[in-house]
Chains A and B, each alone.
Chain A
Amino acid sequence: MRLTTKLLAASAIVSASAANAVELEVMHWWTSGGEAAAVNEFAKAVNERTDHTWVDGAIAGGGDTARPVMVSRIIGGDPPAAFQFNHGRQAEELIEAGLLLDLTDVAEEQGWADIVNPSTLLDACTIDGRVYCAPVNIHSWQWMWLSNAAYEDNGLEVPQNWTEFTESASALEEAGVTPLAVGGQAWQQNGMFGVMAIALAGQEDWLAVNRDKNAEVARGENYARVFQAFADARDLSDGIDVQDWNQATNAVITGQAGAQIMGDWAQGEFAVAEMTAGEDYSCLPGLGEVAVLDTGGDAFYFPVTGDPEIEAAQKEMAALLLSPEVQVAFNSKKGSLPIRGDVDLETVNECTQKGLDLLAAGNTLPSGNELLTPDTITQANDLMTEFWNTPSMTAEDAQERYAQIIEDAE
């Protein structure tokens, strides 16, 4: 009894002292070691630098699990104060339905238009000239990671581009090393296809297909080359049956596999294994063919609550997430690139530096998430994983079906 009274008294004091402060419930799906450490930097910033309190609403299981939960809470009238989405078209309908807070005044006050680099990130948050989300990091798919040991131990040079990679593949196979490690999940195969499309068909064709939904280009000669290379990659990956991307990365780390095509988040695995970029592993942005990064990433959205106090706190938080110190602290832990070009990360290795250079030079593309609806991406995932696991399916067949998906895309 006495304990209860004390607790009641304590909570009364706490709530009294935080009278004008707001509890901000933030939903996200960052639950792995590095991700949790990174999001903790946001929580620290909110708790220490504002009067408000960060209430963590992490959902394990990745975006496909978390997004339905978030959406149902928002539609059900019990929205969190903020939530994470991949910026792009995932939140389009929520914005159209007027469920998300307009952040345009924050964006103007903070000058987001000038600091956010590349500007496509802010474009992805903007609908009809109004800003609805705060981008927080950049992740790029356009990387190939190679095990130096796998090549050098077998007397081969580490390839510098896709052509060299395919040429040396047979020698690697003879030595008992699987040239390419690919996980069994659909998104990995489709993501890899996207990387190969940019590298082998070129930026123009990729944009024509993904942005302009031009099915003729998807049926064209350049894309035929991409599908042929994708079919070759299918053969080169025989021998490693793993599901998760980090298991495939691990095959590269241990030298069982020569290379993996995977986004920059894979670099976190190399770091955990205490490998050094340039010495133990190499990285090729754009497969060494086309030096360009796609700039996907994460953004925070803020549901409309109708409570002016919460609204003020939400806007305060949005501004805070983009402030230089928070950006550095968060992205250093996350292994992603900051969304503003005017800050320096704490530690930068060779590969991260390559990424930063490409960003500074403006060699960027919007990400598939920004250009295609989740519906189209799901269809492409299904096609790519079917192709990948059906050796009898020809490249021409897959190309025609891909073109049809693009034709039907919005």
Chain B
Amino acid sequence: MAIADEAGNAPAAQAGTEARRPVRILKNLQSKMALIPMMFTALVVFLGGTIWTVVYSFTDSGLLPRLEWAGLEQYDRLWGTRKWLVSIENLAIYGVCSVVGTLVIGFVLAALLDRKIRGENAFRTIFLYPFALSFIVTGLIWQWLLNPELGFQQVVRGMGWESFTFDPLNNPDLVMFGLLIAGLWQGTGLIMCIMLAGLRGIDEDIWKAARVDGIGTVKTYIRVIIPMMRPVFVTSLVLIASGIVKLYDLVVAMTSGGPGIASEVPAKYVMQAMFGGQNLGQGFAASTMMLVMVVIILVPWAYLEFGGRKRG
């Protein structure tokens, strides 16, 4: 948002200095007034809420928040809890696979659609459609599809392959990949559309030049087009990443964390601690750790991505 602001303001600022210096705060008064509600929300709700949560994560709040300091006790317990460690591990597995899978599948689909095929609109709609469903609905559908007695396994066995076994949701080692299938099915459509828009933004002359030079199609995509689409990939990555961190409803709908604790995720741990266990302090500590993790990954990356360009 900050970048967009500066980009928008830059020409106006220059024009201002050439004439007389206006009072900075009164510049673009109307737009600033229009921004006040959003600034208020950002400061009070987001920032205020975050600070409040972090502060109370150092208390022993139970069902109700109370300021009785417990030091690092909640964090101590958090990192000694097997469920939390499993949650982190699961999120890492899901996160890496989801980023790679969504980007690869999304780009390949977009590239295929970009080859001026017949019925592009129909395909685009079909691929984008799952995105219109909530995670809860997606989760339920895939829970049925992956159910050994109703879904794939039954269909394949019905076709004559009696020993076929495909039951990821009841296997602790495979359950995260069962979730991943549903996540990819739901999320790739949007990424595909964004990629497709990016591909459409590539100048036709680039393709002509590549053809004149005799470079193959695949090579053109990998060596020329993808580097040119860097901003599109960044946008996609931000979208995918925010979806990963808040992964919760898909798990609740498909496995509710099972079998056992094999598909627990951090967001679910937070909810369970706060509302199931009536232990707000523990839930706050877990959500603070989630924030810390996001910050650790995000800050250096954002600095490189956005900070670098400003200097250049």
Contacts and interface: CB of A to CB of B under 8 A. Distances in A.
Interface of A: 64, 67-68, 71, 75, 90, 92-94, 97, 184-186, 241, 243, 373-375, 377-379, 382, 385-390, 408
Interface residues on chain B, size class: 20 to 34
B276 A64 contact: yes
A68 B258 contact: no
Nearest to B281: A375
A378 B272 CA distance: 8
B236 interface: no
A94 B273 CA distance: 18
B277 interface: yes
A71 B279 CA distance: 13
A93 B63 contact: yes
B148 A382 contact: no
B72 interface: no
22 contacts: A64-B276, A75-B64, A90-B278, A92-B63, A184-B258, A184-B259, A185-B258, A186-B258, A243-B256, A243-B258, A373-B62, A374-B276, A374-B278, A377-B277, A378-B273, A378-B276, A382-B81, A382-B82, A387-B260, A389-B260, A390-B172, A408-B77
Contacts of B194: none
A375 B64 contact: no
A88 B25 CA distance: 58
Contact of A389 (B62, B262, B274): B262
Contacts of B64: 75, 93-94, 97
B182 to A, nearest CB: 17
B272 A390 contact: no
Nearest to B62: A93
Interface string B49-73: 0000000000000111000000000
A389 B172 contact: yes
Contact of B258 (A75, A375, A385): A385
B259 to A, nearest CB: 4
User: Which of B77, B148, B262, B276 has the most CB atoms of chain A within a 10 A radius of its CB?
Assistant: B276
A241 B153 CA distance: 15
A390 B173 CA distance: 11
A185 B261 contact: no
A241 B256 CA distance: 14
Interface of B: 62-64, 77, 81-83, 148, 170, 172, 256-262, 272-279, 282
User: Shortest 5 CB-CB distances between A and B: which pairs?
Assistant: A389-B260, A378-B277, A93-B63, A68-B275, A389-B259
B15 to A, nearest CB: 50
Contacts of B148: 241
A95 to B, nearest CB: 10
B52 to A, nearest CB: 15
Nearest to B258: A184
Contacts of B256: 185, 243
Nearest to A67: B275
A228 to B, nearest CB: 19
Given A71-B63, A185-B256, A389-B172, A93 B261 contact: no
A64 B279 contact: no
B261 A385 contact: yes
Nearest to A94: B63
A386 B82 contact: yes
B278 A375 contact: yes
Contacts of B82: 382, 386
B89 to A, nearest CB: 14
Contacts of B278: 90, 93, 373-375
Contact of B279 (A375, A387, A388, A390): A375
A186 B260 CA distance: 7
A67 B276 CA distance: 9
A358 B259 CA distance: 36
Given A64-B275, A93-B63, A378-B276, A241 B260 contact: no
